[in-house]
Amino acid sequence: MKNTYINLPIRNVADTDRFFASLGMVKNEQFVGPGGTNVKINDNTYVMLLEDQRFAGFINATPETINNNQILCVEFNTKVEVDSFFEKAIAAGATDMTKPDPESEAFMYDKSFRDINGHIWQMFVFTAEMPKV
């Protein structure tokens, strides 16, 4: 595989651009157009953020208003990076969705938020080797 493009419905491009810019995410101008914007997560992962009408054109259906059937997980290098990204998201209008998980806390540190468009993001860092199943 070469690159990953995650497509998500949004309500408003300008509000979404402001939200992700406040998190320090880089806007990828190559994939910006009427009714859509794009942010770069890393060199091979991008999030296409499409207003409902444009998104519907991709799937030939109306997108759900609240998207709670998936969690977008992003791995960071340190707890400080997780906390910093999380705090920026909350300050920009996201809702804290962090839920204690004693099983994971032994090997992972994480925080979660729901963004201004209803998408749930989890940021994490491995703090120890994951247990063998």
**CA of 64: how far to CAs of 8, 24, 79, in Å?**
10, 27, 33
The secondary structure of the chain in percent helix, strand, coil, rounded to multiples of 5, reads 30, 35, 40
Residue pLDDT, tens place only, 88-102: 999 999 999 999 888
pTM of the model: 0.84
Number of domains in the chain: 2
Residues 37 and 58 in one domain: yes
Domain that residue 117 falls in: 66-133
Average pLDDT of the segment spanning 114-132: 89
Last residue in a domain, options 49, 64, 79:
64
Q: Is the pLDDT of residue 128 over 80?
A: yes
Residue pLDDT, tens place only, 20-73: 999 999 898 888 888 999 999 999 999 999 998 888 887 777 776 555 567 899
Residues 41 and 70 in one domain: no
